[in-house]
Structure 1
């Protein structure tokens, strides 16, 4: 009987493929590039078919490297970044390059929409704010600036749904992606059709994908996909969830007294609610399959570990080559340098706004002295990313509808670093746990696959059976105090730099609209 599960996670920079057994144990993983292009300032695009080739290559290489018998694979399931948009024509071919959730071409449009009664109605209907990378906003931008795209488009899809389509030839989405996209009435569980029409988006309604539940079989692997991946034709393809929810499932997020933190391309900070959270209005909100009857409310800003990835790819390129030659990851080296200098006196500070900051605040590194070394710079980067999360968490926990969590579940790249995980714990000042495994997005997808093929009764049962705690951290009082002081300076410098940097009285709209205090 087939007992292996393949999970795919297509993120902002990499496609990750991992294979798991029925207990959720990770048996191996493969990373493939998922490159982005930047045709204009603020535009982030990718070639959908190149991404699909990365997925297929990743699966084939993983199967060959681990010597997996394709007959042992019970299901393949995809997760991917939420929002952004993939547009296909009637033949299933891309109409144009896909957009990432980091795309900010619609910044001026967001400012207009926030003053529009129709957009305000849509925001209330979908229970989330209006932001630049949101699918509904990008559809409005195409309608205004590339009207031919609307005419040629037959299907509006999300990242993970495009991968599923290439795997099995079936078109559908799930309640989490439809919610994240800003297209769905959460309480009704269907597209917010009236609100979309009032917002001027009625022409797109017939092009939206049918909504289904995660953890269901979408179709079987096509002959073409089987040839590309090395798997058997007909292998079940399950419906997954978008990456925020996928990582949350894999970290064991299931209760309203928990705070979910995912550090990746975006700073993702989430809480669970019995009814949609409207105060504060979150960036993203959707039904949450890991706790039936709950909604996951998320503040999301592009201020997280992608800033370190940029630093390693550019200024530390030579260090990365040396690390690779020594059989290490550059990220391991960074963590070692931060740990070695953690107790050194340093006032260096980093604002992780390379992809956009609150009220137009720029990315910045300051407070250096001649005695600073690379470890001090990296510690500032680590702390700045933690503070960006903390700033979003303060907003998330500061409204009438806010939850009252007492512990943190950390996932994403920084969770692999012991020193960085402890830093998150100290800055948030709550006990923190890291779940077992390395590829949380892929594991969350595999959890959905387990349910689809009957290995688990439902998603909560699969989460319980397939997730385990790997490490536990408790706040250190002396570091809590130090980081609190540094955080207050961080907030002050962010405000002052924004004021000095912006050329006029009106701040540039960004995906931070509605998502910052």
Structure 2
């Protein structure tokens, strides 16, 4: 074909990125447009849908300009998007609300109500989506109970991605992948789950039409295509959610391969060939295609915990970093690596933002355990790094119980740029850690899915041929033993404090109201 470039568009939490890839996987050009998270009340998190749509248009335009390619050279666009957003739109297709995003915890009361009902377990087994404030089901319950006027006026309930596609094509469609993260999709039937709809208080007519993640659209509105620098009839693949596409983007799609992403938050995922849920409700199950399903778990507490410690307790490192012209994180990690594994008996439960997998408990709170007079700032940094990885490891334990032994980890995210972080992961997990050259996994995954959808590649496994491994880290058996001795203590701390987490979270909630 004369066209030989594919564009991956990734609608993220803080920005939309558009990346032009060649068929060999090389990056030709990039665009990145940021936007704000709106916090109208404590624990709430929203975004302006129009700001995100504008960012999509501008990011694609910037990527095409940077690539210096003609419209005819663009074979297709593929889309990735964050999950769990909710927008109510009226009969004239105008938003009645901002997008309530994944980081929003306003529906915690509705979540607790569902957890107390006998239907919770069956609902999870059918939908593959654990009950949590992140779920669209609980967000809809909150809206129905607290904002009934808007709830009744809404003609459609959609996600950010659906909003973007409506603006481009004037069609309300949703891919199985985004839908499977709502808690409203029956995984086996690939249709809206009637009992979940009843809980949410809506009919299927108020949701978008379901399509495969490989669904191809043509005929974009001319005015938007012209601004983006693409032809209106360019194939646009609806794509999937950012988590499952990250697996595709780093090449973790075969049995025994796990993708671990740690940025602000974190995630652990592996691919299976049929929908698979966990009797203990620790993991999600989301669609990549009808033949590929991704199971795993997201964590709220990744690099955000280290950032919190930097901002509040590491002024000396920050000041020294300014003087030396280096990243303060590099100095913090360097200091942490001077401390022995296990931080000399200091453990961190890094739940500063509640937690999703594996516990799905929004009321968890952060904890340092074992603090002694011999512990200094570097010990706390090491304990935070290890605590983040212990939590991620606990998700990996669940995956191994469901799928068998893990043979390889492919790492991505901001943490993966740090050699000590990667080695620490290998030592704690006891598994070789590989770092692919591709650092925009979701965007590349969207482009690869587009290649597959339009016939440029015959199978998704061909993605691995496009990925070069830049680093490999083998575990140190002595350190593996050290961490595996500590992990049971880490788990017991959570289990023994589960009720106390709820108590302190309730106290904090009341304290915030009083102020």
Shift, 1:377, TM fit:
4.2
Q: For 1:230 and 1:477, how far apart are their aligned partners in 2?
A: 53
Contact conserved, 1:164 with 1:237, CA < 8 A, in 2?
A: no
Aligned counterpart for 1:386 among listed residues 386, 389, 400: 389
Shift, 1:145, TM fit:
1.4
Alignment of structure 1 residues 369-408 onto 2, 5 Å:
376-398=379-401, 401-408=402-409
TM-score (ref. length: structure 1): 0.85
1:347/1:55 CA distance change after superposition, 3 Å: farther
Alignment of structure 1 residues 105-144 onto 2, 5 Å:
105-144=106-145
Helix, strand or coil for the counterpart of 2:427?
helix
Q: For 1:184 and 1:277, how far apart are their aligned partners in 2?
A: 14
Aligned to 2:28: 27
Aligned to 2:302: 304
Aligned to 2:12: 11
Aligned to 2:352: 354
Q: For 1:249 and 1:260, how far apart are their aligned partners in 2?
A: 9
Deviation per CA, 1:26-80, whole angstroms, max 9, x where unpaired? 3343443232122222211111111222333333333334434344322222211
Q: For 1:9 and 1:234, how far apart are their aligned partners in 2?
A: 21
Shift, 1:249, TM fit:
0.7
Q: For 2:175 and 2:83, how far apart are their aligned partners in 1?
A: 11
Q: For 1:374 and 1:321, how far apart are their aligned partners in 2?
A: 15
Shift, 1:438, TM fit:
0.9
1:364/1:417 CA distance change after superposition, 3 Å: same
Alignment of structure 1 residues 225-264 onto 2, 5 Å:
225-264=224-263
Aligned to 1:284: 284
Q: For 1:317 and 1:449, how far apart are their aligned partners in 2?
A: 46
Contact conserved, 1:280 with 1:402, CA < 8 A, in 2?
A: no
Helix, strand or coil for the counterpart of 1:254?
coil
Shift, 1:337, TM fit:
5.3
1:153/1:319 CA distance change after superposition, 3 Å: farther
Contact conserved, 1:239 with 1:448, CA < 8 A, in 2?
A: no
1:9/1:279 CA distance change after superposition, 3 Å: same
Helix, strand or coil for the counterpart of 2:80?
strand
Higher RCO structure, 1 or 2 (CA under 8 Å, sep 6+): 1
1:329/1:245 CA distance change after superposition, 3 Å: farther
Aligned to 1:512: none
Q: For 2:65 and 2:465, how far apart are their aligned partners in 1?
A: 28
1:22/1:92 CA distance change after superposition, 3 Å: farther
Deviation per CA, 1:226-273, whole angstroms, max 9, x where unpaired? 354344444332111101101011121223322332223443223344
Shift, 1:333, TM fit:
5.7
Unaligned runs of 5+ in 2: 510-515
Shift, 1:293, TM fit:
3.6
Shift, 1:327, TM fit:
7.4
